[in-house]
Structures are given as structure tokens and as C-alpha cells.
A and B are shown apart, each in its own frame.
Chain A
Amino acid sequence: MIYQDSTTVLEVRGLRASVNGIEILKGIDLTVRTGEVHAIMGPNGSGKSTFAKVLAGHPAYAVTAGTVSLEGRNLLELAPEARARAGVFLGFQYPIEIPGVANSQFLRLAYNTVQAQRGSDELDPLEFDDFVREKMKLLEMNPDFLDRSVNEGFSGGEKKRNEILQMALLEPRLGILDETDSGLDIDALRVVAGGVNQLAGKDNATVLVTHYQRLLNYIVPDYVHVMDGGRIIKTGGSELALELESRGYDWVSAEYKNAARATA
């Protein structure tokens, strides 16, 4: 939702990043304000996941130019864990399985780490158990998932619910959800989208990365950005997503190239 008295959560200017010496992000500008939901769409390989991971501080990606700030703070100088504690949350496209670590243990560790940073109370295992079970209801998740190893043997949809559960626990200022809809059947999609909608509020912001329009039937974005070749080549409102659904991405690329040629 776009509010009058919103403040800037994320400010990205001229961001370039490379991996193994190959430049993937080629100058990205993006401003996200409190209350807003942004969708970043674009074909496979256009750099969406790279952008999400660079924001979260993945060490494999080198930022070669540009600035990123979170609520006025230089995000680029922070380690991934410091970004998480400052309020960045990345929901992974491919959540990692960690055999041997109980999901409940992992969730509590993450929760308490972030709580401690914010000067709030940590929860002991019993208190946390009550707390997390409430949050799981929101996502229609079976409490059995607490006793299992983190993501191990979870179906695609269960992994994604577990990601949203983590977001619900950590209450980030900026939630970046990478392809949260992929691998979900229609019921799971409805539940996950419901969770995201419930978590989106006046004081936080959400960036949805997706290459399908499907998710946007359930979570209506305020802005839709099209990414291609490591750049945002077009920005519009929620209606742009529908247009992309019916016309594909090629026309946007063509339009962008023509405009670039005209200014050259």
C-alpha cells in the first residue's frame, strides 16, 4: 500500500555486482518505502536472484559500484548476519536443507539472535514453542515440522512455508521473497500469499521476486519492475504484471533497446 507519510526503507543507486569476474547486475536503481509491495519480474537468468542475494550480503557476489542503504544505513558494509539483524530478510528460492539440526532449534536460534540485537527478550524452548505454534497456524503448517531437521525431506511447498514462517518470526523491515510461488500448488499458494499479506504492514516493505504473474493475483503489488540483463528496464503499476502475462517480456526488451538507441 502506498501511504502519504511513508519513509524510505531501501534505496539502491547504480548497483553493479559480479560473480567470478562476470558482471551480472549492471546498474540498478530502486527505492522502496514503508508499506509498499514491489514485484520484480523478468525472464530466467535476468539477475533477479542475484539482486536478492546481493541485498542479503551473499559473499560470492562482489559489488563493484553503487550504493545500497536500509533506512539510511549503508547496507554494503554490513555482514549478512548484521543485515538480518538490521531487518533484511531473504526468503530463498531454494531453501537449504540442514540434516541434524531440528527446525525448532534453528528457528529459536534465529529468533533469539535477532531479538537480542533489538534489545527484546529471548524465549526459552517452552515459551518459544507456544509462540511458534501460533505463527504456524497462520501458515496452516503441521507442528510436526518443528521436530524434523531444517527443510530436510520437506516438499517444495513445505520449504516455502518454512521460509515465510521465518519471516513471521523475524519481523523484518524489508522482506525479499525470491520465487516464493514456485513449486506451490494452488492451495499452498493461497496460504503462503495470505501469510505474506498478513505480515505486510505500514512499517515494513516487501519485495517479491517472481517470473510468474500467478502470485500477484493474491498479493497485489504497488509497483512492478521488469528486470532484464541485470537492469530494471521498466517500472509500472500492478497492471503491468497482467500485460506481461499476456504479452511476455520480449516487447519490453525491444522497447528498452529502442529507447536506448534513440538516446545514443
Chain B
Amino acid sequence: MNTATGSGYLESLLREQPALPASPLAWLNRLRANAVERVGALTVPSARDEDWRFTDISPLTKMPFQPVTRAAKLEAAAIERFTLPEAGARLAFVDGVFAPELSYNRTAVTVANLATGAGRHAALLEPHLGRHAGFADNVFAALNTAFLHDGALIVVPRDVAVAGPLHLLFIATQPEAASYPRCLVAAQAGSAVTVIEDFVALQEAAYFTNAVSEIVLSDNASVSHVRVQRDSGAAFHIANCAVSLAHASRYRSVSVALGGRISRYNLNVLQAAEGAQCAIDGLALITGRQLADSHTCIDHAWPNGVSRQLHKCIVDGSAHAVFNGKILVRPGAQRTDSSQSSRNLLLTGKARVDTKPQLEIFADDVKCAHGATVGQLDAEEVFYLRSRGLSDAAARNLLTYAFGAEIIDRIPVASLKQRLESIVLAQTNH
């Protein structure tokens, strides 16, 4: 049997699904049941699917990942190095299971576990949960939705600006564990919040993280979304994030992918009303035999939308980075102003990048700029630094670091920025 496309593998992933406790919300149970049904109808994508052309996930299908039955109890000290002093709240999930003893909320807004918080916010949740990150033809989103239970629920009421960032910490501890992180952020009209999704590992194990996030911005809301994927180098990480922008709302995101043997991030931003703005930046810093794939889509569906995107990859060893950046400007989305840049640094002859800007423009009064570069370090820049006394290696390290730091710099949380800068510094030090 061909496990890469056969249904046997997906069935095996669903084995523990019936054991999930039923939700008191009937619609939520129906949502899960629909998702189970979709998993049954779909197959694991292969290289024959255009969207997965460069990303061979067959190694994933060779492992019998299952959700953990008993979550590990972690001491606070075990996650000390991941704490962010600025955070107004933290929700911690250990192998996908909510860990209240590692979580806190000092803010006045809802930052709660989905499984328990859903009831209180049911009216608000129902129109959003599972509605933005569609799973009809996305088997990983369907799997996640089938397992929808613990997760992060953030509701920021009208005109409230949350002071500190909200830290969602997903901690992997067990080999062969499958976890299905889920996140819903509802930023109501005029509100402002910074949300950090942080995927970390306590050991170098092979596990499977399959995450889905939905972020909904009402009129004039502003959300800053930081995503750090620092999984174990043996892990599989697949994530889908759907963002919906209402009138004049502003979404900024910085995604950093450092870990994972194979990682894939799909980010879909829909400008669902006039005058929405988004800036989505990304950095993949990978080495060895890692593969990091980022597929983004910015859907300009209404007039006067603005989008900015800078995606960078630093590829060392025989690693492989993939970027597919789609910009869709629908008919009528006049005066769209969009720019996209993909910049890639290959540090070895064996490193590889496949980058594809994909512009689909159906309106005529638009400004769309895009560009992609793939290359080695600039020889003139290296010489400039050497002429100031830096060794060839020091000059190269500094320039590589700087290439990545340009993205890290855009993270609006000082402690996280510093921590990532030292990771990038260490990883670019040859």
C-alpha cells in the first residue's frame, strides 16, 4: 500500500479521536464530526499536488503519531528559558494539553483554554471557529479540527488595547506524540493586541505538531502576531493560519522558522473589507537536512487595501527552503497597494531554495511590486568588513546574522527579540 496517499495512515491518526470528550456545545461536536468526515474523504498530499510540489512529507507518514493520553507535568523551571517577562498572559500547552499550572492571565481580557472557555463565549465563537481556516480540502486543518479540544481563546473587547503581549507556549516533550494546537483570536472593533505563538521542544524528538489558528479583526482593530517555530530538529510541523481583516484593521505578523525536520506554514490573510492593511514578514533559518516551507496568500478582496511582505530564508548545509507567496487582487479591489519581496541566502553549494511569487491581479488601478533574489553573501560587503579588520569568517557571520536580524528586528517584544537574536547569532557562527 502506498502510505503517502492511502487512507490507512489518516485512519490511524484518527484512532484516538472518538476518545475525545464531547463538548457541551452541539455545534462544536458537529464541527468535529464534519472534520472527521472530511479526513475520510481526503488524502495526504503528495508531490503531485501543485501546493506540495517541493515539500515531500512522506517521512511524516512513516511514523504512527498519536495524541498523548497522559500529559507530562512540568515544573516551572523546565520552561524558565522560554518565559517572556513582558507577557501579560501566558497559556502553556504540553504536547497539546492545556497546562493551567504553567499559565497565568494578568490582563483584563479573555485569555483562556478553548475547551473550558468556549461555553461562556459560545455566541462569539460559533461564527468564527472553524469558519476561517476551512478544512473542506485541507486534510491537516481537517485533522486539527477533528481533534479540536484544548487551545487558546483570546477575546479583546471593543476599544481595549492590551498592554503586554499574550504568550501562547506550545511545549513538545514526548517522541511520537501528535499535538493539535488550536488558536482563536477575536479582536473586536478598535482593539489592539500582540499575540505570540511559540512552539518549543524540551528534547530532540520526532513528533508531529499540526496547528490551526484563526485571527479575526473587526473594524479598526490592530493585531500584531509573532510566530516562532523552534521545534526539535527531528519534528514535523504543519500549521494553517487564517486571518480575516475588517474595515481599516491592521494586521502585522512576523514568523520565524528555525526548527523542524519538515515544517510547513500556510498563512492566508483575507482583506474582507475596505482599507485593511497587513504586513507579513518571515524568516526561515535552517541547516542540515531541514526543510522549511512557507505558503502565504494575501487576498485583496476590497478597495484601498495595503499589504507589505518581506520573506527571507537563510539556508545552510543541505537544507531546503520553499516560499510561495500569492497576492490575489480581486476584481473591484481598486487602489490596492501591495509589495512583496523574497530574499534568500544560500550558505553552501548544497543548500536549496524554491521561491515563487504568484501575482493574480484582476483589478486595473493597483500598485503591485514584487521581487525575488537568491544568492550568496555580497563580496563587496564582505570586503568592506574585512577592510575594517574583521576576519573573513567574522565578516561572513556578521552579514549572515544581519540578513536574519532585519526580520527579527520587527518583533515588537524586546525579550523575545533578544533571545532570537542570540539564537541567530549562534547559528550563523561558523
Interface residues of A (CB under 8 A from B): 56-60, 79-81, 83-85, 89-90, 92, 95-96, 98-101, 106, 109-110, 113-114, 117, 149, 166, 170
State A80–B391 Cα separation when bound (angstroms): 8
Residues of B within 8 A of A85 (CB): 389
In the bound complex, do residue A101 and residue B398 qualify as a contact, i.e. CB atoms below 8 Å apart?
A: yes
State A84–B379 Cα separation when bound (angstroms): 17
In the bound complex, do residue B391 and residue A81 qualify as a contact, i.e. CB atoms below 8 Å apart?
A: yes
Known: A58-B383, A96-B380. A109 touches B406 (CB 8 A): no
In the complex, how many residues of chain B place their beta carbon closer than 8 angstroms to a beta carbon of chain A? 25
Interface residues of B (CB under 8 A from A): 378-381, 383-392, 394-395, 398-399, 401-406, 409
Nearest CB of B to A90, in Å: 5
B388, B395, B404: which contacts A100 (Cβ < 8 A)? B404
B380, B389, B406: which contacts A84 (Cβ < 8 A)? B389
In the bound complex, do residue B389 and residue A100 qualify as a contact, i.e. CB atoms below 8 Å apart?
A: no
In the bound complex, do residue B384 and residue A100 qualify as a contact, i.e. CB atoms below 8 Å apart?
A: no
Residues of B within 8 A of A81 (CB): 386-387, 389-392, 395
State A105–B404 Cα separation when bound (angstroms): 16
Known: A59-B379, A99-B406. A113 touches B401 (CB 8 A): no
Nearest CB of B to A118, in Å: 10
A80, A101, A110: which contacts B383 (Cβ < 8 A)? A80
What residue of chain B has the Cβ atom nearest to residue A101's Cβ?
B402
A56, A60, A100, A117: which contacts B387 (Cβ < 8 A)? A56
Residues of A within 8 A of B378 (CB): 96
Residues of A within 8 A of B409 (CB): 100
Please list the 9 inter-chain residue pairs (A to B) with the smallest Cβ-Cβ separation, ordered nearest first.
A100-B402, A110-B388, A100-B405, A113-B389, A80-B386, A96-B384, A84-B389, A100-B406, A101-B402
Residues of B within 8 A of A106 (CB): 385, 388, 398
What residue of chain B has the Cβ atom nearest to residue A53's Cβ?
B383
Residues of B within 8 A of A57 (CB): 386-387
A60, A84, A90, A96: which contacts B381 (Cβ < 8 A)? A96
In the bound complex, do residue A84 and residue B388 qualify as a contact, i.e. CB atoms below 8 Å apart?
A: yes
Nearest CB of B to A99, in Å: 5
Known: A98-B381, A100-B404, A100-B406. A90 touches B386 (CB 8 A): no
Residues of A within 8 A of B398 (CB): 98, 101, 106, 109
State A83–B404 Cα separation when bound (angstroms): 29
State A101–B394 Cα separation when bound (angstroms): 13
Residues of B within 8 A of A80 (CB): 383, 386-387
Q: List 16 A-B contacts (CB under 8 A).
A: A57-B387, A81-B386, A81-B387, A81-B389, A96-B380, A96-B381, A96-B384, A98-B384, A101-B399, A101-B402, A101-B405, A109-B394, A110-B385, A114-B389, A117-B389, A149-B402
In the bound complex, do residue A100 and residue B386 qualify as a contact, i.e. CB atoms below 8 Å apart?
A: no
Nearest CB of A to B419, in Å: 17
Nearest CB of A to B26, in Å: 52
Residues of A within 8 A of B383 (CB): 58-59, 80
What residue of chain B has the Cβ atom nearest to residue A86's Cβ?
B389
State A90–B390 Cα separation when bound (angstroms): 14
* Given A98-B399, A170-B389: 7 more A-B contacts, CB < 8 Å: A81-B390, A81-B392, A100-B403, A100-B405, A100-B406, A100-B409, A110-B388
Residues of A within 8 A of B401 (CB): 100-101
In the bound complex, do residue B384 and residue A92 qualify as a contact, i.e. CB atoms below 8 Å apart?
A: yes
State A245–B308 Cα separation when bound (angstroms): 50
State A197–B386 Cα separation when bound (angstroms): 26
What residue of chain B has the Cβ atom nearest to residue A84's Cβ?
B389
In the bound complex, do residue B388 and residue A170 qualify as a contact, i.e. CB atoms below 8 Å apart?
A: yes
State A79–B406 Cα separation when bound (angstroms): 29
Residues of B within 8 A of A83 (CB): 387
State A56–B383 Cα separation when bound (angstroms): 9
Residues of A within 8 A of B388 (CB): 84, 106, 109-110, 113-114, 166, 170
Residues of A within 8 A of B399 (CB): 98, 101
What residue of chain A has the Cβ atom nearest to residue B421's Cβ?
A100
State A79–B383 Cα separation when bound (angstroms): 10
A84, A89, A170: which contacts B386 (Cβ < 8 A)? A84
Nearest CB of B to A146, in Å: 16
What residue of chain A has the Cβ atom nearest to residue B424's Cβ?
A100
State A85–B390 Cα separation when bound (angstroms): 9
Nearest CB of A to B269, in Å: 25
Residues of A within 8 A of B404 (CB): 100
Known: A59-B379, A60-B379. A79 touches B386 (CB 8 A): yes
What residue of chain B has the Cβ atom nearest to residue A114's Cβ?
B389
In the bound complex, do residue B402 and residue A98 qualify as a contact, i.e. CB atoms below 8 Å apart?
A: yes
Residues of A within 8 A of B402 (CB): 98-101, 149
What residue of chain B has the Cβ atom nearest to residue A169's Cβ?
B388
A58, A109, A149: which contacts B390 (Cβ < 8 A)? A109
Nearest CB of A to B114, in Å: 38
In the bound complex, do residue A84 and residue B405 qualify as a contact, i.e. CB atoms below 8 Å apart?
A: no
State A101–B395 Cα separation when bound (angstroms): 11
In the bound complex, do residue B387 and residue A84 qualify as a contact, i.e. CB atoms below 8 Å apart?
A: yes
State A166–B388 Cα separation when bound (angstroms): 8
Nearest CB of A to B308, in Å: 16
State A106–B392 Cα separation when bound (angstroms): 15
What residue of chain A has the Cβ atom nearest to residue B404's Cβ?
A100
State A117–B394 Cα separation when bound (angstroms): 15
Residues of B within 8 A of A114 (CB): 388-389
Nearest CB of B to A115, in Å: 9
Nearest CB of B to A151, in Å: 9
Nearest CB of B to A172, in Å: 10
Could you say which of B385, B391, B392, B409 has the most chain A C-beta atoms within 10 Å of its C-beta?
B385
State A100–B403 Cα separation when bound (angstroms): 6
Residues of B within 8 A of A110 (CB): 385, 388-390
State A57–B380 Cα separation when bound (angstroms): 12
Residues of A within 8 A of B379 (CB): 59-60
Residues of B within 8 A of A79 (CB): 386, 392
Residues of B within 8 A of A95 (CB): 384
What residue of chain A has the Cβ atom nearest to residue B402's Cβ?
A100
State A168–B121 Cα separation when bound (angstroms): 64
What residue of chain B has the Cβ atom nearest to residue A109's Cβ?
B390
Residues of B within 8 A of A96 (CB): 378, 380-381, 384
Residues of A within 8 A of B395 (CB): 81
